[in-house]
Structure 1
Amino acid sequence: MIYSMTGFGKASVQLPLKKITVEIKSLNSKNLDLSVRLPQGYKEKELEVRNVMAQQLERGKVECSVYVEVTGEETSATLNAPIVKAYIAQMRNIIPDADPTELMKMAVRMPDALKVERCEVDEEEWNEIVKVLNQAVKNINEFRKQEGEKLGNDFTERINNIRSYMKEITTYENDRIVTVKERLQQNLKELEVTIDESRYAQEVVYYIEKLDINEEKVRLTNHLDYFIETMDAHEQSGRKLGFIAQEMGREINTMGSKSNHSEMQKLVVKMKDELEKIKEQVLNIL
């Protein structure tokens, strides 16, 4: 089963005096790239948050944000009265007739007008936050799983399309051989030379063997089967699927260079188009 690297997970908990919300977003990335945003009072716990996510989110550009909404009467911020009074006095010297209410509004917005008292993180409260964090991680993994199922269905459809095009190519192979022989005979007639029929037959066989694509079809079929098998495996398979797609591309390119037939080349182009779409989506696989 495949998982997408793109996802979103959210969870929240209502504590007696505050509401904690955790949001996790992820995009595709070669490795695990973590970004953690915590309120000032929880900065010391950043390493623990990173460890929780690193253990459960293997790859991706992941952004985790923790929001705290105070719902009770408790607050860690208080007005810094001496500073506010000093600001009001300075502004009154500049504008003597200013409205006191307006002066107060401006003063509380100035730097250092609010004094934040640093408090130790309550362990019981933090344990609840960790539970919410784990739930958010679980939710994003479920989201990734659902997205992975959609990608898996898309991959299966495109793999089947490639199989269908490859099967259709087979119908033109005999026509191609006849066309090649006729072309060679026509060229020889135009040269008006006498040829050794036995040697000519050998050269035709050699030329046709160089255009044979049976080996490429066998290898491409094996790659298609392995791609489906890897998708169904339990391991995280994004990188492996990328390697298999590269090998599929090599076989399709070789078939195109050997096709020497307009209809076969059209089918090869269609196969390449399906493969490019697979490669684009593989970049999102965990």
Structure 2
Amino acid sequence: MVCSMTGFGRCLVENGGITQQWEIKSVNGRHLDLKWRLPSCVRSLEPRLEKVVRRHASRGRVDISLQLQFAPDMSPALHFDAVAASAMLDSLCQLARDRGEAWTPDYTALLSLSLLWGEAGDEVDEELVLQLEDGLTLALQDWNEARSKEGRALVTDMRARVLRMEEWTELIAGRAPEIKQERADTLRERISEALATLGTELEEGRFLQEITLLADRLDVSEELTRLQTHLERLRELLESGTDAGRRLDFTLQECFREINTCGNKLPDVQLSRLVVDFKNELEKCREQVQNLE
């Protein structure tokens, strides 16, 4: 199923004295760009948790945050960087002496300096890791549900636009032969009038050569065939959902190319308006595709 890159997911899990709350927000992006906000005690788990995310997403800018609460007897041990704290205090004492000012250290201020505090060890308990992976998976499932819902809405909208463009393609195919004939009749009339002023009659063989050249310049049968093929491809991609965003964007560019050529080859006021409407629909589809994964 085609998914939007825009979505929101949340999960709250309480298990064994540990409460974890995940929040996931995402917007469209060319590649998968993960931004983490994790507590310091589990920050080292980013590479492992990223593998979980990549099983659920392939594109977009994704912000992932985690709030952790531990029961009093389960709080992870903290490590205080006494060496760094001593160096800070010594520097401040020296600064006070150099300025000739009295200064008394406020040790309670060290509690608010996050750079002095960290987990007691680099290893996180494996049971906690598994719980976090499960919680993240639940949040990702909620996030994917929101993305799928929006993706279905975008697909429904694009299907209607593709159907409209297919109908217009048939109108262009039906109008093209009429334009050829009208241009041929106009050309015959103008040449006959010009030759009449000179007292000369139209040479049929020469005229047929000119008409043949004109018909070649006005022929859009190949462009219309390719355009219809591209529209069918759009339908297939909307159904498949496999890397749909990039493939849809490329196919829409090809549609732009073919309909633009048709508009340039067929000089007709009615058809020109139809081509403009066609391009507008393609542009709206491209805007929708920018949000698809």
Range into which the TM-score falls when normalised by the shorter chain? 0.7 to 0.9
Distance in 1 (CA, whole Å) between partners of 2:126 and 2:249 is 44
- Which residue of structure 2 lines up, in the alignment, with residue 209 of structure 1? 216
In structure 2, the CA distance between the partners of 1:182 and 1:275, relative to structure 1 (3 Å rule), is: same
Distance in 1 (CA, whole Å) between partners of 2:54 and 2:252 is 28
* Higher deviation after alignment, 9-18 or 185-194: 185-194
Deviation per residue, 1:198-232 (Å, 9 max, x gap)? 21123113202320222221111111111111222
- Which residue of structure 1 lines up, in the alignment, with residue 49 of structure 2? 49
In structure 2, the CA distance between the partners of 1:183 and 1:71, relative to structure 1 (3 Å rule), is: farther
Contact kept in structure 2, 1:156 and 1:228, CA below 8 Å? yes
- Which residue of structure 2 lines up, in the alignment, with residue 277 of structure 1? 284
Distance in 2 (CA, whole Å) between partners of 1:284 and 1:226 is 19
Report how many aligned residue pairs link the two structures. 275
In structure 2, the CA distance between the partners of 1:214 and 1:36, relative to structure 1 (3 Å rule), is: same
The equivalences for 1:1-286 within 5 A come to: 1-69=1-69, 118=120, 121-188=124-191, 189-190=193-194, 192-193=197-198, 194=200, 195-233=202-240, 235-286=242-293
Identity across matched positions, percent: 32
- Structure 1 unaligned spans of 5+: 95-103
Contact kept in structure 2, 1:165 and 1:270, CA below 8 Å? no
TM-score computed with the length of structure 2 as normaliser: 0.78
Letter in 2 for 1:162: M
* Higher deviation after alignment, 62-71 or 40-49: 62-71
Letter in 2 for 1:37: R
Distance in 2 (CA, whole Å) between partners of 1:117 and 1:48 is 18
- Which residue of structure 1 lines up, in the alignment, with residue 92 of structure 2? none
Letter in 2 for 1:181: A
Could you tell me how far 1:177 is from its partner in structure 2?
2.8
- Structure 2 unaligned spans of 5+: 80-84, 90-95
* Higher deviation after alignment, 119-128 or 273-282: 119-128
Could you tell me how far 1:54 is from its partner in structure 2?
2.0
Distance in 2 (CA, whole Å) between partners of 1:15 and 1:171 is 68
Deviation per residue, 1:222-250 (Å, 9 max, x gap)? 11111111222252222222221121111
TM-score computed with the length of structure 1 as normaliser: 0.80
Contact kept in structure 2, 1:22 and 1:133, CA below 8 Å? yes
Distance in 2 (CA, whole Å) between partners of 1:234 and 1:111 is 48
Contact kept in structure 2, 1:33 and 1:61, CA below 8 Å? yes
